[in-house]
Structure 1
Amino acid sequence: MYLDFALLIAVVLQAAIWANRMVSTYITFYTDARRDENPGAVSVVQGVSFLVRLVIWSVALLLVVDNLGYDVTALFAGLGIGGIAVALALQNILGDLFASLSIVLDKPFVIGDFIIVGNLMGVVEKIGLKTTRLRSLSGEQLIFSNTDLLSSRVRNYKRMQERRVPFEFGVIYQTTPDQLEAIPAMVKSIVESVEGLRFDRAHFKSFGASSYDFEVVYYINTPDFNAYMDAQQKINLALCRQFAEHGIDFAYPTRTIFINREEEANFPGEMAEQ
């Protein structure tokens, strides 16, 4: 009897050792293959492997205890209240853990992506078991719990295939109709002359308070913000040169005041006091 019991314990322990070794081998293979590709997934998987090993050894322990003659059901019932208290205490931690798994599996972003969460933005530096860390443009580190991060709207600019750029400008009201009609074609030729841009449209949009307002839309075939700013700078400089050549002036805030001379004549005393 004791020999059978010892043999059973040996089999259970050996099975647990084999299962633990299989998990370790798989984790090592996975992390070596993806360490450079997705370091965030590596860190999360390593943390999950600890939980898997914990489950393996817990099952092995329960099998041994059960074969010792103890009532495992009664043991669970006795630990029920304590288990509930522990579960409540670990609720947030487990929530962040499962959120990290969701990030790794669904991949809304990976390390190196530039994302915006609410009114905060930065480059993803680390995806951990409980938190995700971003490096903001001004240099400080932003730390989000994984649960809060997934419950927020995340804008991933790294996944942008091309950037749509609308911009507006105005010209003064002294601009002639012929000049106004020529401006869209002018803008189109300027945008098409810049490499990497796709012109969409240019229109005389509206009559502003002190200007004729135009709206332009183009696309740039890269998500890089610096490339977008370089392209916009080239467009702005070319517009300044073209308008100068054609005698077109950009608008600036102005206000025209009309004085009625007849009203002045009706109130000579009041005007004199002023």
Structure 2
Amino acid sequence: MNENNDTNVTQTEKIIDTLDLELEDHTQEFLAQLYNSEYGSYLAETYFGVPLANLITAFLALFFFLFLRKMFTKLTIKILQPLTRRTETFYDDRVLYALKGPISFLFVIIGFNLFFALLFLETELVTKITSSMVMFNIFWVILALTHAFRDAAYHFMSKFNPELAHEMGNFMLTILRGIIMVVGLGSILQIWGINIAGLVAGLGIGGLAFALAAKDTAANLFGSIALLLDKSIRIGEWIRIDGVEGTVEDIGMRTTKIRAFNKSLITLPNQMIANNPIENFSRRKTRRIKMKIGVTYHTTSEQMTNILLEIKTMLQNHEGISQKSTMLVNFTSFDDSSLGILIYTFSNTAVWAKYMEIKEDVNLKIMKIVEDNKAEFAFPSQSLYIEKSDIIPK
């Protein structure tokens, strides 16, 4: 009986000694206790070439890390949070929050690594799988960091154009993430022995077709960059482009949305905006008031002189009229039914509602000036003269 026990112990020690896989000491001790227990002979029996104790421990370890990874992640974050609270910047808090996913996946990697180790699965395939998981998590960390520093990208882009800061910040981050993902994918493919250069060469024709299909998209992206650098339009501005007029509602990476005055939404590709003249009404500080009025031919020259002088004086003293811009009040023409007066000036605001109030006030004061001078506004009329004949019909 003692000889059998000694034999079991010897076999157990050999099984444990073969676990040269850098496992934790407590895992080794746990397995040793199982094999040295009264059930050691049963637990040492192999199934698919793996001792029963190792099978049980492997699945328990895998399920343990899979189901408790969220708890481990919260515990890790809780341990690191006091360190981030000591700093004045909020970027480290963003980094810690962004790393929740990679930290959680790290425990998944540990679980699978321990699972494969306990099952003596040290094949090339297993090594590639675990190495790919580690590489994936590394690039996930890098992507998470780019997401954490997105506010820094917005702040940098706001120096060029505050209205496009978020759009261009997202655009730059998208490009950066795309590069990171391509490099990460290439690194994982290298682990599996796939020749990247050969793969790229094989995709050459497909890449050319894709490039041709994405030509307009690329043109729109470069158009958005041109809008950023030129600062030609901003959200909320009143513009007119190629016959389209309205208020800029949204500036995206591919398209710009304009709300027309009839409330319809017009979407324009950025390529078209970049390649066409932009008339930006919101950038002007003043707005033109141009009108031509007519008084009747009964108006005397003295009345006309007084009307012109009083209208010009009224405009010069009007608080809504720009005094630095051109101002013209002239008797310009003898029209068919009226004496034409041209009034040409500018309001001191470009805001539509205020401009209309100023123009209305100017019109009312012009009416009063004409009335006070006993003149009348002309309207299209026609005089018909009938000649009387002396011939009396017989």
Task: Name the CA distance, whole Å, in 2 between partners of 1:207 and 1:18.
Answer: 81
Equivalences for residues 118-157 of structure 1 within 5 A: 118-157=242-281
Choose the corresponding residue for 2:316, options 185, 192, 208: 192
Q: Which of residues 375, 379, 383 is equivalent to 1:248?
A: 375
1:86 pairs, out of 194, 210, 233, with 210
Answer yes or no: is 1:54 the counterpart of 2:187.
Answer: no
Secondary structure in 2 aligned to 1:239?
helix
Aligned residue runs from structure 1 range 170-185, under 5 A = 170-185=294-309
Unpaired runs of at least 5, structure 2: 1-123, 125-131
Identity of aligned residues (%): 25
Question: Does the C-alpha gap of structure 1 residues 265 and 119 become closer, same or farther in structure 2, counting only changes over 3 Å?
Answer: farther
**Structure 2 equivalent of residue 210 of structure 1:** 337
- Whose RCO is larger (CA < 8 A, sep 6+)? 1
What stretches of structure 1 of length at least 5 have no aligned partner?
3-8
Separation of aligned partners in 1, 2:303 and 2:373: 8
Are the aligned partners of 1:125 and 1:133 in contact in 2 as well (CA < 8 Å)? yes
Q: Is the 8 A contact 2:190 2:196 kept in 1?
A: yes
RMSD of aligned Cα (Å): 3.3
Distance in 1, matches of 2:374 and 2:225, equals 62
Per the normalisation by structure 2, the TM-score is 0.57
Matching residue's letter, 1:231 = I
**Amino acid aligned to 1:87:** A
1:42 is the counterpart of 2:166: yes
The Cα of 1:83 is off from its aligned counterpart by 0.3
Question: Could you tell me which residue of structure 2 aligns to residue 6 of structure 1?
Answer: none
* 2:155–2:165 contact (8 Å) kept in structure 1: no
**Which structure would you say has the larger Rg?**
2
Q: Which amino acid in the other structure matches residue 31 of structure 1?
A: Y
Amino acid aligned to 1:230:
E
Answer yes or no: is the 8 Å Cα contact 2:286–2:350 preserved in 1: yes
Aligned to 2:19: none
Amino acid at match of 2:317: S
- Structure 1 counterpart of 2:356, from 214, 229, 233: 229
1:28 is matched with which residue? 151
Specify which structure has the higher proportion of strand: 1
Within 5 Å, which residues of 2 pair with 1:78-117? 78-117=202-241
- Contact 2:220-2:255 at 8 Å conserved across structures: yes
